[in-house]
Structure 1
Amino acid sequence: MHNPSTFANAPLPWNGLRTPRKAVSAMFMLNGAFFGMWASRVPAIAQMHQLSETMLGILLLSMCAGAIVSFPTTGSLVERYGSASVTKVVALVYSAALAGLAFAPSALLLGAALFAFGAAHGAMDVSMNAWAGEVEKARGKPIMSSFHAMWSLGSGLGAATGFLAVHLALSPMVHFLIGGVVCLLLALPFGYVAWSSPRIERKPGAKRALFVLPKGALALVGIMGLCAGLGEGAMGDWGAIFLVQVAQTNEGTAALGYTCFSVAMVVMRLAGDFIISRLGAVRAARMSGLLAASGSLLAISFASLPAIFVGFAMMGLGYAFIVPLAFSRAGNDDTMSPGPAIAAVATFGYGGGLFGPVAIGLLADTFSIRWAFLLLSSLALLIILLAPNLAPPQKSAAR
């Protein structure tokens, strides 16, 4: 059970250079920046190791596996040591794992490095979202969407450093070392703000379960995260191919499809806190599902480039809220403590991102890429049906 004490022993400093909200925002940007730096140098690292597309795909699966394996352990650590402390320690591990990607001397060791990188990325994802949920609860209004917008912004900035590194002819090793140190120096000072996570009181002799499946409404929230994760993963891996095959465009133009999707998602997340505070979580999720479903149907129905670009942008707008809303709901669950709850929901979301592109590929091979994208429409409609599970849980009087 949670101790009903406040989140911090002293009054929370909501204004100033170091505040809880700025601290969490900095951690989200740091996490996104490291991931963006890695993503921007994938071609260079693949060339270093002479990796075929198949081998690269297998190695990337090891990164996803590392993330999924780390979730339950991190949830337990957050429960024991607090979200803020775990986030700041894992940030240091994450920077070391980033450097390890460039130092791996062989494809086999690169796979191990990717597993470690994925584990650090996933661990920080769980801990920083648990911290974000605590800050949101203390703030008393929706702010989770803005944190995820900071992740998207950090990811874009991290990718931009890759563009700069390529033009300066910097190796991934130099890029990751310099970039990692600079990002840590910029972000970590914001993280040193007074913050105490709620204590978890347990009966003497009670054991901590390493992995606990969510139950009831939270399990359905996890399915919503899976639907959104599958859609985001499919857009990243298959959006350009969809444009090439359906709109008969070239690869350069097709790359703009994911740009439309990503920009729309960032814009919507920046506006998300205001929209969610006005509509509430349930209506915001229903609107999101409707936007995602309409966007995918628009892209499927018309072969013209403008229509597909609009459809992809609508999908970005639609998926933008779902993961932040799912994490926010998990952080406020009344049956599980925030760390394990967020870890469980994250597992669903990452599972969707991992297996979704595979499902789209199988459907595209069996039918066509257009028919495959109908899966996204169906799952977006499922988000609408499951939206009531995002309603805040009714607090028991016997807490």
Structure 2
Amino acid sequence: MNSSADPGTTRERDEVRVSRLRVCAIFAVNGLFIGVWAGLLPSLRDHFRTDARGIAVLLMVAGICAVIAMQIAGRWADRRGAKKITLAAVPIMAIGMCAVAAAPSYGVLVAAAAVFGVGNGMMDVAMNAVGVHVEARHKRPTMSLFHAFFSIGALAGAGIVLGSAVLTGGLRTVIVVSSLASVVIAVAGTMAVAKRLPQSQVTTASMSGPRRIPAAAWLLGVIALCFGMTEGTAMDWSSIHVTDVTNVSPGIGALGVVCVSGAMIIVRLLGDPLCARFGRTAIVRGGAIVAAAGFTVTVISDDLPVVLAAWLVVGLGVGIINPQIYAVAGHLGGGRTLAVVVGFGYTAFLIGPAIIGSLIAVVGIQNAMMLPIGLAVVVLILALWMPTAGPAKGGQRKRDVHGREQHAPISR
């Protein structure tokens, strides 16, 4: 047996490895922006003397602009390649963040949120399309790793805000320092990987006829809507749940979201090997079962260690679902399909907090957690009909809805 490796194969593997690292960096950049944005919301609320309703408007504007931008970016990514869209989105998000830092009034802040939302919507679809392409080239699951780096970036962004608050103290200073720090780090990181960031496959009408959205995309969209609400509930309400149910201070209650976020990072780092072993459908169903089990404990327990453990379990469940659904959507129909599915997920994040909040006002926060249990069960059932596309168990390849093998070379 010849032990020497084929030089071409070795170069190809090295290229794929480098491409994965560069895509990880882009996901971390997006997460950094989101982490700083989310971390600044309390400071923005106090500095501009608004309330929860004002913050809700801010988030709604950013979210609506993101969903609209996603649909446009998905089509552009198919026609021109997702690399260009990804790199164009970073300066748009940076401009939005600079506008947040410089905003003299709440009205300008809302406009800044709109710009930030446009950039984030473009980047979310485009970077996932690039990630799907690298996964196709790698011939084994990698999307969970990319999403893990998004979570790591978000955690780092929240750390920037916390560090700014500790070192500076003033609301305005925290906003300016955190915003500008995120811009400098994100732009520098993007410039470092921009030249050799992988390009997704370009699809034109002359190559394959008009690109239609597969019917399965709408099934994936409904799954995204359900897991989006369960994940949003975990991120938005876990700390309040811990605080109210176990009668601890808000500072201790914040351990709820720490448990959720930490568990999501861990399970996403482990997600690709699990997906390669068991397949995406099994992983999605398993994640739904785990999430439902965790939420069930949040309904029945008021003991602090048990409740924190429950939110840890919830994080393990919800964290593994997102990358699998987006990966299947991208392999199935490219940027346009990905935009539809991601748009459903964003819609869930927009309406989820309001629905859960209204439910809490009527039945209480513990009973309200029965809704995400039901949504997790819906994900479990719908996953039975989830299409298979891209790398599957054992590194085998699946074919798309037209019978074509999902494989394309990495281009620049």
- TM-score norm. by structure 1 comes to 0.90
Give 1:182's aligned residue.
185
Q: Does the 8 Å CA contact 1:261/1:315 hold for their aligned counterparts?
A: yes
Residues 12, 299 of structure 1: alpha-carbon distance in 2 compared, 3 angstrom cutoff: farther
Give 1:352's aligned residue.
348
Shift of 1:85: 1.6
Q: Distance in 1 between matches of 2:193 and 2:45?
A: 35
Q: Distance in 1 between matches of 2:10 and 2:110?
A: 46
User: After superposition, where does 1:280-299 map in structure 2 within 5 Å?
Assistant: 280-299=279-298
Give 1:3's aligned residue.
none
Equivalent position amino acid for 1:240 in 2: S
Shift of 1:18: 8.2
Residues 135, 46 of structure 1: alpha-carbon distance in 2 compared, 3 angstrom cutoff: same
Which has the larger displacement, 13-22 or 131-140? 13-22
Q: Distance in 2 between matches of 1:252 and 1:67?
A: 31
Which among 333, 339, 342 is matched to residue 338 of structure 2?
Answer: 342
Q: Does the 8 Å CA contact 1:260/1:312 hold for their aligned counterparts?
A: yes
Equivalent position amino acid for 2:91 in 1: L
Residues 398, 342 of structure 1: alpha-carbon distance in 2 compared, 3 angstrom cutoff: closer
Q: Distance in 1 between matches of 2:343 and 2:320?
A: 18
Residues 397, 291 of structure 1: alpha-carbon distance in 2 compared, 3 angstrom cutoff: closer
Equivalent position amino acid for 1:320 in 2: G
Counting aligned pairs with the same residue, the percent is 29
- TM-score norm. by structure 2 comes to 0.87
SS of the aligned residue for 1:320 comes to helix
Residues 315, 24 of structure 1: alpha-carbon distance in 2 compared, 3 angstrom cutoff: same
Which among 360, 376, 391 is matched to residue 388 of structure 2?
Answer: 391
Shift of 1:14: 4.0
Q: Are 1:244 and 2:278 an aligned pair?
A: no
Q: Does the 8 Å CA contact 2:130/2:199 hold for their aligned counterparts?
A: no
**Residue deviations 1:36-82, cap 9 Å, x none?**
12222222222221112222222221111111121101111111210
**Residue deviations 1:336-360, cap 9 Å, x none?**
3x11111100111111111111111
Q: Distance in 1 between matches of 2:121 and 2:74?
A: 11
Q: Are 1:376 and 2:372 an aligned pair?
A: yes
Equivalent position amino acid for 1:85 in 2: K
Q: Does the 8 Å CA contact 1:285/1:322 hold for their aligned counterparts?
A: yes
Residues 340, 245 of structure 1: alpha-carbon distance in 2 compared, 3 angstrom cutoff: same
Q: Distance in 1 between matches of 2:105 and 2:294?
A: 42
User: After superposition, where does 1:231-310 map in structure 2 within 5 Å?
Assistant: 231-310=230-309
Q: Does the 8 Å CA contact 1:18/1:192 hold for their aligned counterparts?
A: no
Query: Which contiguous aligned blocks of 4+ residues in structure 1 show a shift greater than 3 angstroms?
Result: 10-14, 393-399
Q: Are 1:50 and 2:46 an aligned pair?
A: no
Q: Distance in 2 between matches of 1:340 and 1:354?
A: 21
Q: Does the 8 Å CA contact 2:235/2:260 hold for their aligned counterparts?
A: no
Shift of 1:194: 6.2
SS of the aligned residue for 1:50 comes to coil
Q: Distance in 2 between matches of 1:397 and 1:39?
A: 42
Residues 163, 16 of structure 1: alpha-carbon distance in 2 compared, 3 angstrom cutoff: farther
Shift of 1:168: 2.7
Equivalent position amino acid for 1:359 in 2: I
Which has the larger displacement, 15-24 or 353-362? 15-24
Shift of 1:207: 7.5
**Residue deviations 1:138-164, cap 9 Å, x none?**
110000000000000011111111122
Shift of 1:196: 3.9
Q: Does the 8 Å CA contact 1:13/1:20 hold for their aligned counterparts?
A: no
Give 1:79's aligned residue.
78
From the two aligned structures, give the one with the greater helix fraction. 2
Equivalent position amino acid for 1:261 in 2: V
Q: Distance in 2 between matches of 1:12 and 1:155?
A: 33
Structure 1 gaps, min length 5: 1-9
Give 1:6's aligned residue.
none
**Residue deviations 1:297-317, cap 9 Å, x none?**
111122211221111111100
Q: CA RMSD in A?
A: 2.3
Q: Does the 8 Å CA contact 2:145/2:271 hold for their aligned counterparts?
A: yes
Q: Are 1:102 and 2:98 an aligned pair?
A: no
Q: Distance in 2 between matches of 1:32 and 1:386?
A: 29
Equivalent position amino acid for 1:370 in 2: Q
Equivalent position amino acid for 1:178 in 2: A
Shift of 1:236: 2.3
Q: Does the 8 Å CA contact 1:13/1:19 hold for their aligned counterparts?
A: no
Which has the larger displacement, 143-152 or 237-246? 237-246
User: After superposition, where does 1:145-224 map in structure 2 within 5 Å?
Assistant: 145-169=144-168, 170-193=173-196, 195-203=198-206, 215-224=214-223
Equivalent position amino acid for 1:344 in 2: V
Structure 2 gaps, min length 5: 1-8, 390-397, 406-412
Q: Distance in 2 between matches of 1:264 and 1:194?
A: 29
Shift of 1:377: 0.5
Residues 31, 13 of structure 1: alpha-carbon distance in 2 compared, 3 angstrom cutoff: farther
SS of the aligned residue for 2:244 comes to helix
Q: Distance in 2 between matches of 1:30 and 1:137?
A: 22
SS of the aligned residue for 2:204 comes to coil
Shift of 1:248: 2.4
Equivalent position amino acid for 1:201 in 2: T
**Residue deviations 1:89-112, cap 9 Å, x none?**
211221121111111221111111
